[in-house]
Amino acid sequence: MQTLIQAVGLVKRYGSRTVVDGLDLSIRQGEVLAIIGPNGAGKSSTLDMVLGLKKPDAGRVSYWREDPARYIGVQLQSTPFFPGFTALENMRMFAAFYGLRPTDSELLEHLGRCELGEAARTDAARLSGGQQKRLAIAMTLMHRPQLIFLDEPTAALDPRARREVRGLIRSLADSGTSVVFTSHDMEEVHKLASRIALICGGRIKASGTAEELLATHGADSLEELYIRLTDNAL
């Protein structure tokens, strides 16, 4: 399995506080990698460094190709839409950021695949929480990325919207797109992830499939494992 991104020995400090402390992380082709860990564990800083948003104080990030930005899609925790723009116009703007000029019918078809066809001409800010998340994900898929980062994609969504977003992630994985997502929902992580990396204290505390982790640590559930490993570290 090809390694898409390899981070070695990442360190990030804010003043005297070390948030990421010599962290190693690899992201492989075709996998659904869940990054979990308590708030303040270093997940966001790690992702920011991997995505080139922050410079590591030490360590190295290698990408599988020269121009990774063209092949990576990113959905942040917030749903960043242009104020006053419809779903279709937001899609058009973000497509343009990747040098694409899709026609309206292509955009509508793309929105339809994310079950947003009827909402295409609605102000993005007026969409429901689930629709906004799906639109944010749809925007990251416009340029057919090989790898997609989703930061807490189901946070603050109702059960129906969660199910819709999970379905979208599953269909992405089925189509061969590598997915990296963060979540605090262990059931969701168990259902979606082919590999899990638990970050705690700025380091990878455990990594593997859910079954490997449960067997290694003798836990009955991911939630139990999470609490046990993060308790020890705190």
Partner 1 sequence: MLTIIRTMLVGIFRDAHTLVWTIVFPVAMLLGLGLYIDDADYSERLLAGVLTTNVLFGAAMVTAFYVMAHRNRGIYKLLRVTPFSTAAFIGANTAARTALTLLVSGAVVVMSVLALGVKLSGLGLALMLAILMIGAVCFTAVGFIAANLSKNESDVNMISNLISFPMLLTSEAFYSLQNAPDWLRTVGRLLPFHYFVEAMGAAVGQSVDIGDVLPPLGILAGFAGLCLGIAVYTFRWDADGAAYRAGKRAAGFRPGAEG
| Residues contributing to the site for partner 1 (CB under 8 A) | 10-11, 49, 51-63, 65-70, 72, 74, 76, 78, 80-85, 89, 92-99, 101
Least distance to partner 1, CB of residue 220, Å: 38
Nearer to partner 1, 83 or 176 (CB): 83
Nearer to partner 1, 14 or 232 (CB): 14
Sign, CA dihedral 83-87-88-94, equals positive
Cα gap 139→23, rounded to integer Å:
30
| Distance set, CA 143 to CA 28, 70, 100, 140 (Å) | 20, 7, 7, 7
In the complex, minimum distance from the CB of residue 184 to partner 1, in angstroms, rounded to a whole number: 20
Residue 224 CB, nearest distance to partner 1 (Å)? 34
Q: Which is nearer to partner 1, 74 or 179 (CB)?
A: 74
DSSP 2-69: -EEEEEEEEEEEETTEEEEEEEEEEEETT-EEEEE--TTSSHHHHHHHHTTSS--SEEEEEESSS-GG
Provide, rounded to whole angstroms, the least separation between the CB of residue 113 and partner 1.
Answer: 21
Name the residue nearer to partner 1 (CB basis): 68 or 201: 68
